[in-house]
Structures are given as structure tokens and as C-alpha cells.
Amino acid sequence: MIRYFISDLHLSDKRPDLIRAFVQMTEEFIQRQEETELYILGDFYEAWIGDDFQADWNTQVENALATLSQSGIALYFLHGNRDFLIGSAWLDRVGATLIHEQTLLPLNNTSVLLTHGDEYCLEDTEYQAFRKTVRSTAWQEQILSLPLEQRLALAAQLRNDSKSMAAEKSISIMDVTESAVGDSLNLLHCKTVIHGHTHRPEVHKVHDYLRCVLGDWDEFIWLARIEGDIYTQRKASVTEFIQNGLNGLKEAHRERL
Ligand code: OKV
Ligand code: MN
């Protein structure tokens, strides 16, 4: 069994190259005919404004996911801070199963904690307050009742707010609080976490635990996988990937779990 992990693709109409790369990746997963699961750990989209949103570029993306799940590859989705409005209609269309943040994935001899990662960015108290609001059902119900145009405008405005706020924040404030991640792992008797969000792809060894940070798709595309007890993280430039596919990915990290 091979399990793949991706996050922070930030797909949108602005990045047809990333959409091409992702669709190609799903096609290759199917061609390989191996027992496979794909875990999308949030921020798959640059911004999701509701399952009633329709666009040609996204129909292509949803069709690729639906083909993947129909071919027998189990698909799991976990909300990020930009696509937290993904709901059951989208999940049904693509054939994905929703997993919640801090889900334990049992493996043969161990388990791995899966999460997006933003809930551990505790130093950014302003962000945590914002997160609490936008993750509340009351706020989400209110937003989803607005016409699409208004939701689009609101998402664009929040995006701008975030950009100007991030510019004023220190680098360290926008990373996870290492001790909070450690506390979660202790509580769950788990030694490995896989998360995204911070755009700082790395494998950190902290005390006796492993923190695997997925890469965001921009200049490079990133793909992590677990096969047996081996975790690997691979990357390729977008053009390299489009030319050579999965074989064009170069190993950036390897760790025994
Ligand atoms: C992060 C902060 C924005 C603070 C909105 C639908 C909706 C996505 C969104 C896009 C922008 C959040 C999600 C971001 C942090 C902000 C503003 C303030 C205090 C919608 C989908 F509902 F409006 F339709 N947004 N992002 N802020 O860039 O991650 O930290 S964000
Ligand atoms: Mn994120």
C-alpha cells in the first residue's frame, strides 16, 4: 500500500500550470495500478467560496479527482485555512472522504498524525481569533447564504487583508509552535506528524518525534509518501514534472517511521 500526501496546491484560474501538473499526477497514480491512497491535507484551492461555485478550470480538477476515486484510489480531504468551506456536495462530486484535523492514521507498527497545521500557529493570536470566527458554523452559514458574487468579493478582500497583515508579521510568528505540536503528539501517544500550511517543507526531528512539513506548490511541486515504514518527500520544478511525471521527482527527505 502506498499513501501519498499533498497540501497547499493553492489551485486557481491563475495557475493553469499547477492544474496541468495535478491532473497529470492523478493520471499517473491510476496508470501505476498500485494499491494507493491520496491524502489532501488542506489548501488544495487558493480559496473555496462554496460548493455551488463552478468554473471550467475547476471542472477539470474535479473530474480528475472523480476519475481517481472511481479507479479505486481512496481519496481523503482535510480542510485548510483557505478551503474550509468545502462541503459535502464537493466531497460527493469527487468521491472524497472528509477527515478532520488531527486525525490519527494507523500504520503497521505505528501511527501518524495528520493535520493542516494552522491550528498550531499559536503565536499569531490575531490569526487564531480570525480562524475561530471563520471556522464557526454561524459565520459559515451566513457567508454561504450570500450570492456567489459577494462571496467572491469577500474572499478577495480577506486575501488582501491577509497579505498586508502577513507583510507586517515576523517570520517566526507565522510558524507552528513546536511545543504545542509536541503536546498533541504526547497526548495521542504518537511520534510523527505530517502537516502543511507553513510553506517550509522540511523534516524536523524534535526530541523523540518527527515533524514532516509538506511543501506548497508554486515553483516546485511536492509529493510525500509512506510505503512500509519509509516516509519520503520528493519535489520537482513544475516544468520538470510536466515533462517527466512522477519519475522526474527528486528525493528531498527520507525517514524511517
Ligand atoms: C488569513 C487572515 C485572511 C487574520 C474566504 C472563502 C469567504 C476563503 C476565504 C481567503 C483568505 C482566509 C480564507 C487569511 C488570515 C485573513 C484576514 C484576516 C486576522 C471565503 C474562502 F468566506 F469569504 F467566502 N479566505 N484567507 N486574517 O488568506 O488565509 O489573520 S487567508
Ligand atoms: Mn494553509
Query: Which CA distances in Å does 115 have to 19, 40, 54, 190?
Result: 23, 10, 27, 13
Mutate to test the pocket of ligand 1, among 43, 82, 85 (most ligand atoms within 8 A of CB): 82
pLDDT value at residue 172: 81
| Overall average pLDDT of the 132-159 stretch | 97
Task: Quote the percentage of the chain above a pLDDT of 70.
Answer: 100
pLDDT value at residue 37: 98
| Overall average pLDDT of the 56-75 stretch | 98
pLDDT value at residue 117: 98
User: Among all chains, which residue has been given the C-alpha cell 477527515?
Assistant: 99
Residue 202: beta bridge partners? 213
Residues lying with their CB under 5 A of ligand 2, a single-atom ion: 43, 80-81, 197
| Overall average pLDDT of the 150-164 stretch | 94
Reported as type and span, the H/E element at residue 77 is strand 74-77
Determine which residue's CA is closest to atom 3 belonging to ligand 1.
162
CA distance 148 to 7: 25
pLDDT band at 73 (very low <50, low <70, confident <90, very high): very high
**19 CA to middle of ligand 2, Å?**
18
CA distance 234 to 37: 17
| Overall average pLDDT of the 152-179 stretch | 91
Among 12-21, 103-112, 157-166, the range scoring the smallest mean pLDDT is: 157-166
| Overall average pLDDT of the 133-142 stretch | 98
Task: Quote the percentage of the chain above a pLDDT of 90.
Answer: 94
**31, burial (CB in 10 Å: exposed 0-12, middle 13-18, buried 19+):** exposed
Determine which residue's CA is closest to atom 7 belonging to ligand 1.
155
Give the angle subtended at the CA of 254 by the CAs of 75 and 176, to the nearest 5°.
Answer: 70
**Pocket (CB within 6 angstroms of ligand 1):** 47-49, 81-82, 85, 126-127, 130, 143, 151, 154-155, 158-159, 161-162, 165
**In sequence order, which residues have a C-beta less than 8 Å from that of residue 7 and are 6 or more positions away?**
40, 41, 42, 43, 44, 80, 116, 195, 196, 197, 214, 216
